[in-house]
Amino acid sequence: MSKTTPEDQDLFRQAMSDVTPLQAKTPRLSQESTRTRQAQAAKRRAFQRLRQPVQNDASEFDFDQSGLASTQPVSQHASLAFKRAPCDPKTWKKLKQGRFPVETTLDLHGMTVAQAEQAILQCLQDALAHREKQLLIIHGKGYNAEDNLPKLKNLVNQLLPTCPPVLAFCSAQPKDGGLGSVYVRLRLD
């Protein structure tokens, strides 16, 4: 790129001699950017609602007999199961059989625990926004985990019960990942 010569600079100054600079004003936000900010604020509020802990009232929960929905670490070969009281037996049975069509899939392979937690919460938030009830979360079996305690599987098992929109979750059928993934049923209030 060539440098401007003094003649070019003089020519530019002459051409701009009768031009008045615009006054500096605070930029006005367009309606679109205002709507975008409002949508982002609504997402943040929904995200905060997802993170609100559920009251630990035994009458409110209906744990599977295996007790795997507790905070105890689970192994690679453990089957995950959790349901809340409003989950009727017919829905629970269909969920365990994988008979609900999966509307959203989230694959956590290759993520750190922190990344996976954010991805799960974002996925739940997006599913609720799109009124989707059935998710498939693939956490993997954790074959490379130390002490046979897969980190992502345990994260899923500990995080999902704390999210009020989660009605139930259980390990998936082999065709959908088996013990390396879970079906998640959401309630839309």
Separation CA 172–CA 179 (nearest Å): 6
pLDDT at 174 (0 to 100): 96
Is the Cβ–Cβ distance between 152 and 158 less than 8 Å? no
pLDDT at 58 (0 to 100): 33
pLDDT at 79 (0 to 100): 95
pLDDT at 169 (0 to 100): 98
User: What is 72-127 written as a DSSP string?
Assistant: S---TTPPPEEEBTT--HHHHHHHHHT-SPP-EEEE-TT--HHHHHHHHHHHHHHH
pLDDT at 28 (0 to 100): 59
pLDDT at 144 (0 to 100): 83
pLDDT at 3 (0 to 100): 79
Which residues 6+ apart lie within 8 Å of 105 measured at CB? Answer: 135, 136, 137, 138
Q: Which residues of the chain have pLDDT under 50?
A: 53-69
Domain ranges of the chain: 81-186
Highest CATH level, class, for 81-186: alpha beta
